[in-house]
Chains A and B, each alone.
Chain A
Amino acid sequence: MSATQYFLRRTFISIIVFFGASIVIFCLARLIPGDPARIALGPFASKEMVEQYRELLHLNESIIIQYKIFITNLFQGDLGISTYTKRPVLIDIQSYFPATFELVLVAVTLMIIIGMPLGILSGKFKDTFVDHISRVFSLLGVVTPSFLWAIILMLIFAFWMPIFPVSERFDEALDPPKLVTGLLLIDSLLEGNFNFFKDALAHLFLPGLAIAMPAIGNVARLTRTNLSDIYDKQYIEFAKSYSFSEFKIATKYALKPASIPTVTIIGLDFALMLGNAFLVETVFVWPGMAKYGVEVILAKDLNGIVATALIITTFYLVINMVVDFVVLILNPRISLKD
């Protein structure tokens, strides 16, 4: 199978899973006991209002027709009107999603630039102090709820040692750049506004770290095992017998194959991080999908809930596709075989 065929097949599978997920989410929204119209409007709405609302949501049609309407509208970029914000859901999501996206990107970056060196160090200095520290760290990372990480980091680095700002995305005193991508880091760079860039980065650091914490441990542990496996391989022995420098062996021969499982775990950890973003955003008063998600859930906003779940799922699917392609580039042998 060529790379193009692989690409097409992988995309096709993702599209099928997307439709499957949309059916699951849609059915959950419609089959759960209770009248969605009544729940949305509250117990004091009149019968006529409820009936009108049912008409509006096409609730009187059969579920298959309802799904058809839903999916057709979806492809026209219409996710319905949010009963909570009274605006089109798509507009809401456009304003909240970039904040979460930026946060998760920072978290992934932190996870790689902290996790991989930690794993390399503990692989290199096996069974020494560094190794023990990194193992304790990875264990604690997995078992600590990420909202607790958020609270601990906030207490230490924002209150007791005020190095980082406490909450929100940027300092109110600064003028935000014109929104192009919605990602403040990129938008401020586009304008050449370095002051704002620094401020936005400082605001991103603590919540990003809190989200990355559970994943950093995973990455470190994986990198450690893989590196030690690869250092036992014959081609490393061979490179050593040519008296290549240790640095060259590490960077040229060992690190590339060792990073493949790490890239794979990034894809898997993404689900974890997207979930954790919900918790960390709450602590840091971050105006992202979590804020929106929790608000629409408490307000019983049917369209909002379905859209939030669907957007996050789509995001996760896309990331996993990207990860699969990166793995393919790193090691063309694996995936093309079957």
Chain B
Amino acid sequence: MNIFKTKSFYKFSRNPLSVFGLIIVVTVLLLAIFAPFITPFPEHVGPFTDFANKSKPPDSTYIFGTDKIGRDIFTRCIYGYRISLILGVVVLSIAVPIGVTMGLCAGYIGKKTELVLMRITDIFLAIPALVLALSIIGLLDRPNLLYTMIAVSMAWWPWYTRLIYNITRSIKTEGYIAAAEVMGASKFHIMFKEILPNCLPSLLTKITLDLGFVILVGSSLSFLGLGAQPPTPDLGTMVAKGASLLPDTWWFSLFPGFAILIVVLGFNLVGDGLKDMFDVDV
């Protein structure tokens, strides 16, 4: 089956906003992957200094300007995308399996399992995500990228439990589940081979939307100084560095800030397109 000829893809491609989002996402991905070949000053990523060109406003050589020690902000933004995308992927690869498994168990097995698992989920949902992530980082040793990833994952899985739980509850009374039960299929088989495939459209949509939001929360944490540590080019850290120097060197903060905005916007638009395409509610 050619995916580009399906009716759903037609629906997706007819929405200019979704296509725009897809273009953003693909561009950002390509930029991040080929960063060493695209960026004008790849050597500016690390602890490089060039005091002759420090704090230069945007011009034709340095299109986003340079920072306090003369590094090209455009180059650092593109490399910052690498960190952001890795963060998004790692966080979701931890949070999604945990959330999905718990949601399937709570929804399908029911009874005491449901009660215990869903109460735990509710309790985690009662603590605002950013505050939970902040406290976890605070309690771990020195802040670094790995801890940020762990902390955000811990705050993110309950949403997947909720989502999968609701879908499981609504489809577990379907005929094909009963048929599988009668044939003696194991609980594991029913949960992961019968129910999970039916959750995939919602799951895929939510993952796409969340990739953007995880990047947003990750950059918020590094904005507070609790993410990747310098000289790693992290977008949130770069915004924070500039924020205390407003308004003179406004380009320190604004360009990395807009870089975050654009990638979140891209994933959000694609996610919205998928939502319409699969006709699901997440």
Given contacts A24-B123, A25-B127, contact A147 B220 (CB under 8 A): yes
The answer on a CB contact under 8 Å between A145 and B122 is: no
A139 to chain B, nearest CB (A): 7
Check: B201 CB closer than 8 A to any chain A CB.
no
Contact with B along A238-281 (1 / 0, CB 8 A): 00000000000000000000000000000000111011101100
Q: Residues of A contacting B59 with CB < 8 Å?
A: none
B139 CB to nearest A CB, Å: 5
Residue B130 interfacial (CB < 8 Å):
yes
Contact of B261 among A36, A143, A271 (CB under 8 A): A143
Q: Please, how many residues of chain B have a CB less than 8 angstroms from a CB on the other chain?
A: 45
Chain A contact patch, size range: 35 or more
CA distance A147 to B261 in the complex (A): 11
Main secondary structure of the interface of B (DSSP, over half): helix
- Name the distance in Å between A67's Cβ and chain B's nearest Cβ: 15
* A147 contacts B135, C-beta separation under 8 Å: no
B126 contacts which of A20, A148, A293, A305 (Cβ < 8 Å)?
A20
Compute the total of residue contacts between A and B using a CB distance below 8 Å.
150
B139: chain A residues at CB < 8 Å are 28-29, 32, 36, 302, 305
CA A21 – CA B132 in complex, angstroms? 10
Question: Within B120-146, which residues are at the interface with A (CB < 8 Å)?
Answer: 120, 122-124, 126-132, 134-141
Q: Which residues of chain B (131-171) have a CB below 8 Å from chain A? A: 131-132, 134-141
A145-B219, A278-B131 are known; give 14 further A-B pairs, CB within 8 A: A21-B127, A140-B265, A143-B216, A144-B264, A145-B236, A148-B257, A154-B247, A270-B128, A275-B129, A278-B134, A278-B220, A296-B138, A298-B225, A306-B135
Closest 4 CB pairs of A and B: A275-B130, A297-B138, A20-B123, A159-B247
Listed by A's residue number, 20 A-B pairs whose Cβ atoms lie within 8 Å are A20-B126, A28-B135, A29-B135, A34-B141, A139-B265, A144-B261, A144-B264, A145-B223, A145-B236, A145-B264, A147-B220, A147-B223, A152-B254, A274-B131, A275-B129, A275-B130, A293-B134, A297-B137, A309-B132, A316-B128
- B interface residues (Cβ-Cβ under 8 A, vs A): 119-120, 122-124, 126-132, 134-141, 212, 216, 219-220, 223-226, 236, 239-240, 242-243, 246-247, 250, 253-254, 257-258, 260-261, 264-265, 268
